[in-house]
Structure 1
Amino acid sequence: MNKINHQIRPVFPFTAIVGQEEMKLALILNVIDPKIGGVMIMGDRGTGKSTTIRAIADLLPEIEIVKDDLFNSHVSNYDLMSDNVKQKLQENSKLLTQFIKVPMVDLPLGATEDRLCGTIDLEKALSEGIKTFEPGLLAKANRGILYVDEVNLLDDHLVDILLDSAASGWNTVEREGISIRHPARFVLVGSGNPEEGELRPQLLDRFGMHAEIRTVRDPSLRVKIVEQRSQFDQDPLFCIETFKEKQNELKTVIISAQSNLSSITIDYDLKVKISKICGILNVDGLRGDIVTNRAAKAFAAYQNKSEVDVEDIKKVIILCLRHRLRKDPLDTIDSGTKVEQVVNDILN
């Protein structure tokens, strides 16, 4: 048996999670292609949202970063590098690297803008002429996952900053004429309970995917979930060892999908059909079209295919569009069902 560091709190294995297939698929696709734009998970309390998100981060292969860099800089990709590392490269300095687990950063509800974006030490800048940057959570989350629980209760201003950074891949901090910019590429995962209020539609639209999860009603499945959790709580190391093979298999599939993603093709006719569905559903803007194309390619890569087919689109399109429909208070049909009806009309 491999040695496991007892200092680190064991994480429930991703492949041991029973049910909630929609949430698991959305997370896997965002990990394969972070440009999908993150996922918003809405559902009842106690349905394993936090457990699943921590489990996907723990499953991912380690990443190589420049040693002692505050931003988890990539050693060769300019878009994932801090200015400091770029400068060292230009000076032909030797860069030492290390492997770390994919960062998994929690944004607490009471976080301030400084805590999120980082701060510039003005005193040092003015007295010594040195730009000293105290990194925030966006810096720590670079090349990882940023998780916001109860995102619908978070200050709208902070949600705006989060979504802007997630979309651009950069965070800029400006104070008193001093400006610092650093990479902030992360998979943004938000979760919330609809009973505690909805997100504004213009903010909701910025999340690439939207997964809805419900409490499992089937008694035998509920028993299985409870037993699985009890087994983990009693002997986490045994549970981790039991699912080790499945975890490694899924990890291999994800790594393979990440490397094959750029070669996946999607037929022009299918692109037209995706846009036709978005048009019939009155989806504002083109985000819905773009995200559906990306997610379908990521799913095809996950299935080890070279080309997107109709089934791939059917599998992901509800996740990509259900939160982009205009809300009609008199509507009795669920938005997911509405998307499904149109999809079946166009794609069958």
Structure 2
Amino acid sequence: MRQPFPFSAIVGQTEMKQAMILTAVDPGIGGVLVFGDRGTGKSTAVRALAALLPPIRALVGSPTNAATAEDHPDWAEPVSGKSHDVPTPVIDLPLGATEDRVVGALDIERALTRGEKAFEPGLLARANRGYLYIDEVNLLEDHIVDLLLDVAQSGENVIEREGLSIRHDARFVLVGSGNPEEGELRPQLLDRFGLSVEVRSPTDIDERVEVIRRRAAFDTQPEAFLKKWRAKDTKIRKAILSGRAALGSVEASDAALRDCAELCVALGSDGLRGELTLLRTARALAAYEGSDAVTRDHLRRVAPMSLSHRLRRDPLDEAGSASRVLRTVEDVFA
């Protein structure tokens, strides 16, 4: 199987790459929503980051990539107990997917041939301990998006229907992408995503030329290209793993908590999800960079991706939501 494009070789799109790295450090941040033009490397970045991470250890034959016998669901076929290394899963959720395909359903074949009431796992089971990627998430049916966000937040998929009562682990990083010109997400759903970034096609000629050069090199001489970028990918991987290990020890002072609250109040953010996500993302950035405490600099750098999609629309303000967040940050932190 061909290796994905190296993560460190992706040209530009700094904010998108940083958001994905931070969700790898702390998957509890709540996923990433990437809005922007087609062909800007959204799906490439997801697959590249998953390939950059170390493989996961899973039981052979487990439909949920269970790490131990205790995690293996009791409704599934018994497994031998042997485990092996598998790549971090990246599961695509197609636009036309039904709810049964997403969450799982009654196994009709076993019901007809054996007369047994058995469960056929869906995409959420396969995505456990990995990434679930939805292209054109703004065109997905609202009830499916609601369901996905609920499961992503709880880490568990629960099915109660057709005489089945099934539950299994479903811990994954949800990454949604789309083009806002083709439809927008409801504000309630926007708020449920942890981070949001906007990507644009580069307008700088030299940058576009570099994109073409690297892609052509990867297509024509993939082994040499992968070797060239391996050291940089390894550096990012080590920083992510170090960040995961250090995450629990990163301190957030009362001053940092007050900064989060004051910033969200100034922006008019509803509820408390904005503060909680801002703090969690800043802590992940601090851990990734080897800092032992959250600072205003960390908060300033992650505020746009944590809060821009939670703002109420202001028809009198033509600035983008990220610009509004940055402007408010400077006012609050002045």
TM-score by length of 1: 0.91
* Aligned equivalents of 2:75, 2:25: Cα separation in 1: 26
CA distance in 2, matches of 1:126, 1:86: 18
- Asked if 1:180 corresponds to 2:166, the answer is yes
1:16 match: 9
Corresponding residue SS for 2:5: coil
Name the residue aligned to 1:345. Answer: 331
RMSD: 2.0
The amino acid that maps onto 1:141 is: A
The residue type paired with residue 193 of structure 2 is F
Look up the SS of the partner of 2:290 in the other structure.
coil
Structure 2 counterpart of 1:269, from 255, 260, 267: 255
Measure, in 1, the Cα distance between the counterparts of 2:118 and 2:76. 17
Give the alignment partner of residue 169 of structure 1, picking from 155, 176, 180: 155
Deviations 1:53-82, CA, capped at 9 Å, x for gaps: 111111111111122111011228x6xx24
Match of 1:258 in 2: 244
Q: Which residue of 2 aligns with 1:5?
A: none
- Name the CA shift for 1:264/1:85 in 2 (closer, same or farther; >3 Å): farther
| Letter matched to residue 103 of structure 2 | C
Query: Which AA in structure 1 matches 2:148?
Result: L
**What's the CA shift for 1:13?**
0.3
Equivalent residues of 1:10, 1:237 under 8 A apart: no
Q: Given residue 29 of structure 1, which amino acid in structure 2 is its aligned partner?
A: L
In the other structure, the counterpart of 1:72 is: 65
1:240-319 to structure 2, matched below 5 A, reads 240-319=226-305
**Preserved CA contact (<8 Å) 1:14 1:56:** yes
User: What residue identity is the alignment partner of 1:102?
Assistant: T
- 2:34 partner letter: I
1:342 Cα deviation after fit: 1.3
**Whole-angstrom CA distance in 2 between matches of 1:178 and 1:119:** 9
Q: Distance in 1 between matches of 2:251 and 2:277?
A: 15
| CA–CA separation in structure 1 for the residues paired with 2:36 and 2:168 | 34
Q: 1:110, 1:9 → 2: CA distance?
A: 27
Aligned 8 A contact 1:73 1:85 in 2 = no
1:335 CA drift (Å): 1.2
Report if aligned partners of 1:142, 1:184 keep a CA contact under 8 Å in 2: yes
Structure 1: how far apart are the matches of 2:47 and 2:73? 30
Q: Deviations over 1:263-314 (max 9, x none)?
A: 1111111111111110111111111111111100100011011111111111
Structure 2 portions without partners, runs of 5+: none
For 1:95 and 1:106, the matched residues in 2 are separated by: 28
Matched pairs, number: 334
2:87 paired residue among 101, 126, 132: 101
SS in 1 for 2:196: strand
Shift of 1:137: 0.4
Distance (whole Å) between structure 2 residues aligned to residue 280 and residue 166 of structure 1: 29
- Cα distance, 1:203–1:125 mapped onto 2, change above 3 Å: same
Please tell me the residue identity of whatever aligns with 2:64: F
1:130-279 paired onto structure 2 within 5 Å: 130-279=116-265
Distance 2:85 2:206 in 1: 42
2:18 to 25, 34, 39: 25
Q: Alignment identity in percent?
A: 48
TM-superposed CA distance for 1:131, in Å, is 4.2
TM-score (norm 2): 0.95
| Distance apart, 1:96 and its partner CA | 2.1
The answer as to 2:42 corresponding to 1:84 is no
1:112 aligns with 2:98: yes
Superposed CA offset, 1:35-69 (max 9, x none): 00000000111111111111111111111112211
Q: Which moved more, 1:105-114 or 1:121-130?
A: 121-130
Q: Is the 8 A contact 2:34 2:175 kept in 1?
A: yes
The CA distance in 2 between the partners of 1:123 and 1:86, in whole Å, is 15
CA, structure 1 residues 85+263, in 2 after alignment: closer, same or farther (shift >3 Å)?
A: farther
Specify whether residues 126 and 228 from structure 1 end up closer, same or farther in structure 2 by C-alpha distance, changes over 3 A only.
Answer: closer
d(CA) in 2 for partners of 1:245 and 1:65?
A: 27
Amino acid at match of 1:315: R
Cα deviation for residue 85 of structure 1 reads: 9.3
Whether contact under 8 Å (1:23, 1:212) holds in the other structure is yes
Note closer, same or farther for the CA distance 1:11–1:127 as it changes in structure 2 (3 Å cut). closer
**Structure 1 SS opposite 2:74:** helix
**1:146-183 deviations in Å (ceiling 9; x for gaps):** 00000011111111111111011111122223211111
